[in-house]
Structure 1
Amino acid sequence: MLACPTAMFLAWGPDLLCFYNDAYRPILGYRLPTSLGRPFRTVWASIWDEIEPLVAATLAGESQVLTDRMLDLSREGLPEQSWWSFTYSPVRDDAGRIAGLLCVTAETTARVLGEARLRESEDHFRHTVELNPQVPWTCDPDGNVTSYSNRWLDLTGQAPGEPLGAGWMRALHPDDLAPTQAVFAASLASGEPVDVDYRIRVAASGTYRWMRARAYPRRDAGGTIIRWYGVVEDIHDRRRAEERLREVNAVLERRVAEALAQRKLWADVFETTDALVAALDAEYRVLALNRAYAEEFESLYGVRPRIGDDLLALLAPWPEHQAATRAIWGRALAGADFTVVEAFGDPAVRRASYELTYTSLRDAEGRRIGAFQYATDVTERLHEQEQLRQAEDALRQSQKMEAVGQLTGGVAHDFNNLLTIIRSSVEFLRRPELPEVRKARYLDAVSDTVDRAAKLTGQLLAFARRQALKPEIFDAGARLQAIAEMLDQIMGARIRVAAALPEAPCFVRADASQFETALVNMAVNARDAMAGEGHLTLRLTGGQALPAIRGHAANAGPFAAVSVSDTGSGIAEADLARIFEPFFTTKEVGKGTGLGLSQVIGFAKQSGGDVAVASRPGETTFTLYLPQAEAPRAVAGPAAPASAPAGPGRGLCVLVVEDNLEVGRFCTQILEDLGHRPVWAHNAEAALAELAREGDGGAARFDAVFSDVVMPGMGGIALARRLRASRPDLPVVLTSGYSHVLAQDDAHGFELVRKPYSAEELAQIFETLTARRHEAD
């Protein structure tokens, strides 16, 4: 194992102590200094819930093979998404008993992400780039045009809006109308791509030109066509050229052995066209070329080709172009007929793009003697397409900024309302003659407003899936029954509340408080939709699959499906796509914040589930899907916290780590008032220095550490992990108003106090720590 270049480790003995080879060392990351000989469960505590079933199965004698498994190894102390393929194999001792396991692993993150990017690129290519649009358009599944480029109006002279539906067909040549309709009808019925040529009357010249219309269907996750994406491109010159090319090629195949006649024919036909025309033999020697080809080649490379020249030799100073020419002409000389778009020329001089059509060249007996090229300059067309792409990017950026503006405005509106209450209350509290009754009323108003502000922040973080959740395994049925009973008491006599629950318990792993909040938010919307009268039904069903919702892939589950149904007025179809947006509401001003459903979907997504909605007049159902869990194991109940306040000699020496000046002063003042002895460090590095000095005096100086999570330099979680490794006996309490790290992985096993916190919350948690210290003494 030690000599093997593949990463592997051995977990041995009753405690599964870890031994590993050099190839495995980088995987451990910051755990490396403390991992050798430590229990497997301790080393990988952050992912133990995911791998424990695999370990148990292996120790039971079943080898495990996992491919592309996503694990958050947090090698640098921060969450990361990485994918791994590995095997677990049981290892036996001299007596033949299984005494450990061997893991062989390899990281596959680059491949997994590469394949995902490739799939995304292919999908994007299929709907946009590969079509090379000249006049882009879209239509619905029934063939009615829903959008088009203004270039169609310039070409045909039609008025704005006229091409919509079937109006575009009025620009077609009468002889092409019926065949075009037949092709479109066949494609709409079969789902096969549209590919049809027709003529349109060009407004500028009054003449008809040939166009090619192509379209590809876009399907939803169930395979149903939801839209067609198409382009119309001008192929008039190419069609005429191809017709002439076929005629000339037929003549050349009959006369190739007659050199003089062939040259005369070549001059008669091709010296009058702007297209670049050339023919090569099997040795890449020039058989024929027109003046346009020779002049363009000379302008690009500074040398004029002639009949009999070796084309590859002329390109010797440009190795890359020589290799490209050999590859593309090689396909044609091997007998392939095809059309491509390529760029040629020295970028320092001139570079142009061409659409190149290649066909085989044969003699009168049908023997292949070379290949024929017909090229047209499409540099300007590609430039126009790039300008179109840039314009589309600018439009998407504008739409994104509009959404950000809506969100910012909503946040500012609600917080300004709350700040108005706080400012007014504080101004009244400063009046010395204010009666005690009114002073208590204003203090209550400030406290209530702070709670509402914290709730508003929590709802925004829930929608953004950045709320620090406290997931636990609980019986969803029991919680649902309790919520139903509570709603039955407050909904009023004219709203009947019913709960439909399965006979067996149905457990989920989620934040119980957020779960109840989501149910209440959906129930409140249902009550408002029923205008105070109707039926509200809460239903729980276990073992369900997660369907494809809003374009997201389905998941076999199992999931617990919690639905809230009402008999209200329903949701307008135009609003269904926006109901989960923050601050979007259909209620009257002052009747709703527009954050209730955004909290629901944010909580569902962050918990690994989703929300589906179905609505029609008289029946609306919201269904919340949450991952179903196994029944929790029985655990001992928590010890009752101490209730006595910290008095002299009983308080703790607390190291406060806070980078914000105002919050640090306020926190230390609260701890002093609670009878504790705070020492303030302005960052994690200063805190480590304080802890290093306490060893000089012999006994431990600090009883606990109270640290903010988000700080410059080392963050609070990294500090806590470092202290857990070096001082496992020192309690660490974290605090944060928001952290993406907490949102992704709870509190990482540490105590957490959410901002804004109150003095009572700090008192409770440090009373608990004080009680534990006295119990230890």
Structure 2
Amino acid sequence: MDPQTSALLGGGLMGARMRAYDWATTSLGPQEHWPQPLLTLVRVMLNSRQPMFIAWGADRTLVYNDTYAQILGERHPAALGRPFFETWPEVRDAVGALMDRVFAGDPVHMEDLALTLHRNGYPEATHFAFSYTPVPGDDGTIVGLFCACTETTRQVLAERQAASERRRQQALLQQMPGFVAVLRDPSHIFEYVNDAYITVAGRRDYIGRNVREVFPELVGQGFYELLDQVYATGEPFVARSQPIRLVGEDSTRYLDFIYQPIRDQAGAVIGIFAGGYEVSDQIRSQVALAESEGRYRTLFESIDVGFCIIEVTFDAADRAVDYRILEANPAFERQTGADVAGRWVSDFAPDLERHWFDTYGHVALTGEPAHIENKADVFGRWFDVRALRVGDPAARRVAVFFSDISERKRMEEALQVLNATLEQQVHERTAERDQLWRLSEDMLARANYEGMMSAVSPSWTRVLGWSEAELLSRPYGTFMHPDDMGPTLAALAQMGKTTQPTRFENRIATSAGGWKPIEWTVAPEADGANFIAVGRDLTIAKTREAELASAQEALRQAQKMEAVGQLTGGVAHDFNNLLTVIKSSTDLLKRPGLPEERRQRYVGAISDTVARAAKLTGQLLAFARRQALKPEVIDAGRSVTTISDMVGTLSGSRIRIVTAIPDAPCFINADPSQFDTALVNMAVNARDAMDGEGTLTITVNPVSTIPPIRTHPAVSGDFIAVCIEDTGSGIAPEQIEHIFEPFFTTKGVGQGTGLGLSQVFGFAKQSGGEVRVQSTVGQGTTFVLYLPRVEAPGHVPQVEPEPVVDGHGMCVLVVEDNAEVGTFATQTLAELGYVTVWAIDAEAALAELAKDADRFDVVFTDVVMPGMNGIDLAHRIRRDHHDLPVLLASGYSHVLARNGTHGFELLHKPYSVEQLSRLLRKVATWQRRKRIMGEVA
């Protein structure tokens, strides 16, 4: 079988048609003359289930397979062998240019092409996805086009319908009066929110973000968990009056809402519909109503006015014949002497006067209020009564307010008797007032707002020395101290506006030329033009206040001196203990024939005691924040881990040590030794508080805020918090304010110095941090040490050099004002092979350097000296002699404590020979290396 024949084999109905077709009548010519590329494409096309066609030659003769025949509709089978645009003339404008591009050698692919086809006798809107592939001939020119296509009309129309349905649904949701949101996926991503939702929750970036991203402030409010529950269980959730707090809002809102799961066709949950209403106003109204009802009930039960609601009954002639007490307040019983709630008046007051029934009956029938004063003989009292109809008129109910005015009536009767002697009474009262005006120690006056007084009492003259004529002829502002005039006039003006009495102080001039402090009580008169002023001389009171303040200051100074006495006494006690060990050891060393082993033991005791004394002074300086710290960038977590291991050894097996250290380093800039000492001090206190058994928890965490502590406000920043928590006995509230005081301790004598926590406090303050303590008696105590967090160190610290044993003639300028220390230093250096020159102060040292600075290899100077201190001397040497190294020595310096060492090496007193030799070698080696590098450069 030749290739031409085999190319048309199979291929379904179109294969049969093509085999029977007279191709000689087309531009393709007989099938046996078809080129090989065309045969190959025909074979591929006929055996494919995807719609395909071939447009061949200049007239683009159409060849297609069975599935493409379905696309042709009524134009099949006539389309076979005809030019493409004779079959599809209506698409020439849409695809003609595309085919031209293909025949020019450019393939074309389109995902969606909209075409209007007339394949079934009427226009149809259709959509296609297709690829046009150019087919080259033997000479490389394009002789044909191969198309693989798919009609996507149904999918496009379905998607459009779905989109239209979504738009319709969203339009409906948009018109809903309540808020609506549509969430998808288990992470609850916002797919839609309506305007009402934005009105409630505010403008945010919703679409495409999950609920946790959009509403981070809802952490801990339960909404995330409710959404997860609805998605997981498929059960809807309905909430009523659910409280919610949104970011930036001071008040709580309330919501009624539903979380309804959204399911796919298979019934699986794919999202959540959230809808509801904000009911904050209703909730607040309910609360306000409840409060109002509560206030009403309180008022109802607490007012002295009697109150009741009665129900009146009438006879056939509409004449009131009886009434029942429906409700009454406690004052009703107090004023009537009867507990009558729920009873008819005919039961408890059968002889009640007729006028009461007529009054209440008229109010119940007509609705006209009544106000009467009448006597109820059955109760033996007079009452002032107001009555008004309440509720449905048909109910015939009346609210009655009444007050017992029996006492007033008795007073009116008594007044009638007194009126006969009114003139005598007025005369007596006037005399009493005049006597009060004359004899009162207070300064009384009547004045107007224009600045003049119209009457003054004699006490003005007694207090200030001015005569009545002088006081009334001058504006009262001229008697005031100039600094007090503005506030005084402002207070009077404010009183004139509010018509309320006011009080103030000012200074008033005396006739002798001095000033007296006066306290004024001023009240406006009813006419609005004048006021009454009452002044009290505060001179004696002010003197007593000053004396009291002086006494209080003296008491504070006495308390300070007592505290200083306690401090010095404690230091003396501890140092006497240390000196006892040193003195005993030196006495024993003087004994002849002392064995070497015992001599070494006594020498070691002296050395250990000196170290303990240095530690004690270090703790005192730490408390006072006066020690010269050596801060380094260290990992607080690593230090805590090391100390925890040591504390575990100290605390014993019955105390469980729990640590929580973050994986990331927590760097701080602090003195490592003091930091470790602070941790040990807090841990040892915790151990002692647990009496050998319990749990000690040590955690390290980065924090952004130091909370308010003692009188200090909260501090924001980047800090490391080291927390030490125990399960011990706790600290009593009255002791917790004193625990950081030096020498304060709750332990027995000899069990502690009382300096441990004061060292923690001083170290924290000097390092720019804080320490906080919280304790509950019987449950335990928590100490939190806050220190500033810093970036990771950029270099590795150098290893300290070994101490030298031979100075090799190195020349040292020793600057020390203390003769004993200076002698020791020069002798020690001489024994090590150094050459020394001793200067007793900075001026002498500068004189030696001025003679010949080149002979010295290093300057070893004390910091605290009379005149120029060691820090200033070191700066002077650095300025004038750049290559000459300086080693500082100090036991204490406020300059070092405040500003640090300024880059100079520091040797702490007391120091050992080993420490002195090590640092001398360090500074000399460093300076020599620096000099060599400079020469090389």
TM-score normalised according to structure 2 size: 0.50
Q: Find the counterpart in structure 1 of residue 566 from structure 2.
A: 406
Deviation at 1:680, TM superposition (A): 1.3
Deviation at 1:450, TM superposition (A): 0.2
Deviation at 1:346, TM superposition (A): 5.4
Q: Find the counterpart in structure 2 of residue 506 from structure 1.
A: 666
Deviation at 1:416, TM superposition (A): 0.4
Q: What is the distance in 1 between the residues matched to 2:648 and 2:442?
A: 81
Q: Find the counterpart in structure 1 of residue 874 from structure 2.
A: 720
Deviation at 1:324, TM superposition (A): 5.2
Superposed, which structure 2 residues align to 1:478-627 within 5 Å?
478-616=638-776, 617-627=778-788
Q: In structure 2, do the counterparts of structure 1 residues 690 and 580 end up closer, same or farther at CA, with 3 Å as the change threshold?
A: same
Q: What is the distance in 2 between the residues matched to 1:596 and 1:324?
A: 54
Corresponding letter in the other structure for 2:622: A
Deviation at 1:350, TM superposition (A): 5.9
Q: In structure 2, do the counterparts of structure 1 residues 639 and 292 end up closer, same or farther at CA, with 3 Å as the change threshold?
A: closer
Deviation at 1:640, TM superposition (A): 6.3
Higher RCO by CA contacts (8 Å cutoff, separation 6 or greater): 1
* Contact 2:458 2:468 (8 Å CA) reproduced: no
* Contact 1:642 1:771 (8 Å CA) reproduced: no
Corresponding letter in the other structure for 2:608: D
Q: What is the distance in 2 between the residues matched to 1:731 and 1:548?
A: 46
Question: Which of the residues 519, 524, 528 maps onto 1:355?
Answer: 519
Deviation at 1:453, TM superposition (A): 0.2
Question: Which of the residues 688, 693, 696 maps onto 2:851?
Answer: 693
Q: In structure 2, do the counterparts of structure 1 residues 348 and 702 end up closer, same or farther at CA, with 3 Å as the change threshold?
A: farther
Q: What is the distance in 2 between the residues matched to 1:574 and 1:313?
A: 53
Indicate yes or no: 2:473 matched with 1:309.
Answer: yes
Q: Find the counterpart in structure 2 of residue 86 from structure 1.
A: none
Corresponding letter in the other structure for 2:445: A
Q: What is the distance in 2 between the residues matched to 1:373 and 1:305?
A: 18
Q: Secondary structure of the residue that 1:620 maps to in structure 2?
A: strand
Corresponding letter in the other structure for 1:622: F
Q: Secondary structure of the residue that 2:469 maps to in structure 1?
A: coil
Q: What is the distance in 2 between the residues matched to 1:519 and 1:495?
A: 17
Corresponding letter in the other structure for 1:632: P
Q: Find the counterpart in structure 2 of residue 277 from structure 1.
A: 444
* Contact 1:266 1:290 (8 Å CA) reproduced: no
Question: Which of the residues 660, 677, 687 maps onto 2:835?
Answer: 677
* Contact 2:811 2:858 (8 Å CA) reproduced: yes
Q: What is the distance in 2 between the residues matched to 1:654 and 1:493?
A: 53
Q: In structure 2, do the counterparts of structure 1 residues 374 and 688 end up closer, same or farther at CA, with 3 Å as the change threshold?
A: same
Deviation at 1:486, TM superposition (A): 2.7
Q: In structure 2, do the counterparts of structure 1 residues 347 and 588 end up closer, same or farther at CA, with 3 Å as the change threshold?
A: farther
Deviation at 1:270, TM superposition (A): 2.6
Superposed, which structure 2 residues align to 1:607-686 within 5 Å?
607-616=767-776, 617-633=778-794, 635=795, 637-638=797-798, 641=801, 644-647=804-807, 650-686=808-844
Corresponding letter in the other structure for 2:679: L
* Contact 1:341 1:355 (8 Å CA) reproduced: yes
Q: In structure 2, do the counterparts of structure 1 residues 296 and 596 end up closer, same or farther at CA, with 3 Å as the change threshold?
A: closer
Deviation at 1:326, TM superposition (A): 8.4
Q: What is the distance in 2 between the residues matched to 1:524 and 1:673?
A: 42
Indicate yes or no: 2:580 matched with 1:420.
Answer: yes
Q: In structure 2, do the counterparts of structure 1 residues 307 and 265 end up closer, same or farther at CA, with 3 Å as the change threshold?
A: farther
Q: What is the distance in 2 between the residues matched to 1:488 and 1:332?
A: 73
Deviation at 1:717, TM superposition (A): 0.9
Q: Find the counterpart in structure 2 of residue 430 from structure 1.
A: 590
Q: In structure 2, do the counterparts of structure 1 residues 347 and 500 end up closer, same or farther at CA, with 3 Å as the change threshold?
A: farther
Q: What is the distance in 2 between the residues matched to 1:766 and 1:464?
A: 30
Deviation at 1:390, TM superposition (A): 2.4
Deviation at 1:271, TM superposition (A): 3.0
Q: What is the distance in 2 between the residues matched to 1:282 and 1:572?
A: 60
Q: What is the distance in 2 between the residues matched to 1:347 and 1:494?
A: 84
Greater shift in the superposed pair: 412-421 or 382-391: 382-391
Deviation at 1:325, TM superposition (A): 5.9
Question: Could you give the per-residue CA deviations for residues 65-110 of structure 1, whole angstroms, max 9, x where no partner exists?
Answer: xxxxxxxxxxxxxxxxxxxxxxxxxxxxxxxxxxxxxxxxxxxxxx
Question: Which of the residues 750, 759, 764 maps onto 2:904?
Answer: 750
Q: Find the counterpart in structure 1 of residue 3 from structure 2.
A: none
* Contact 1:312 1:326 (8 Å CA) reproduced: no
Corresponding letter in the other structure for 1:576: I
Corresponding letter in the other structure for 1:288: A
Corresponding letter in the other structure for 2:505: V
- Where structure 2 has 5 or more consecutive residues not aligned to the other structure, the ranges are 1-301, 303-429, 933-937
Q: In structure 2, do the counterparts of structure 1 residues 387 and 642 end up closer, same or farther at CA, with 3 Å as the change threshold?
A: closer
Q: In structure 2, do the counterparts of structure 1 residues 527 and 367 end up closer, same or farther at CA, with 3 Å as the change threshold?
A: closer
Q: Secondary structure of the residue that 2:543 maps to in structure 1?
A: helix
* Contact 1:641 1:771 (8 Å CA) reproduced: no
Deviation at 1:557, TM superposition (A): 2.5
Q: In structure 2, do the counterparts of structure 1 residues 561 and 329 end up closer, same or farther at CA, with 3 Å as the change threshold?
A: closer
* Contact 2:689 2:728 (8 Å CA) reproduced: yes
Corresponding letter in the other structure for 1:274: E
Question: Could you give the per-residue CA deviations for residues 291-322 of structure 1, whole angstroms, max 9, x where no partner exists?
Answer: 3224444x2x6x6635762247986xxxx847
Q: In structure 2, do the counterparts of structure 1 residues 351 and 407 end up closer, same or farther at CA, with 3 Å as the change threshold?
A: same
**Superposed CA RMSD:** 3.1
Q: Secondary structure of the residue that 1:305 maps to in structure 2?
A: helix
Corresponding letter in the other structure for 1:601: F
Q: In structure 2, do the counterparts of structure 1 residues 291 and 325 end up closer, same or farther at CA, with 3 Å as the change threshold?
A: farther
Corresponding letter in the other structure for 1:273: S
Question: Which of the residues 503, 527, 535 maps onto 1:375?
Answer: 535
Q: What is the distance in 1 between the residues matched to 2:783 and 2:819?
A: 45
Q: What is the distance in 2 between the residues matched to 1:339 and 1:486?
A: 67
Q: What is the distance in 2 between the residues matched to 1:313 and 1:608?
A: 54
Corresponding letter in the other structure for 2:788: P
Report sequence identity in percent: 49
* Contact 1:646 1:770 (8 Å CA) reproduced: no
How many residues align structurally?
A: 498
- Where structure 1 has 5 or more consecutive residues not aligned to the other structure, the ranges are 1-181, 183-262
Greater Rg, structure 1 or structure 2? 2
Q: What is the distance in 1 between the residues matched to 2:696 and 2:450?
A: 82
* Contact 2:725 2:781 (8 Å CA) reproduced: yes
Q: Secondary structure of the residue that 1:421 maps to in structure 2?
A: helix
Deviation at 1:360, TM superposition (A): 5.0
* Contact 1:694 1:701 (8 Å CA) reproduced: yes
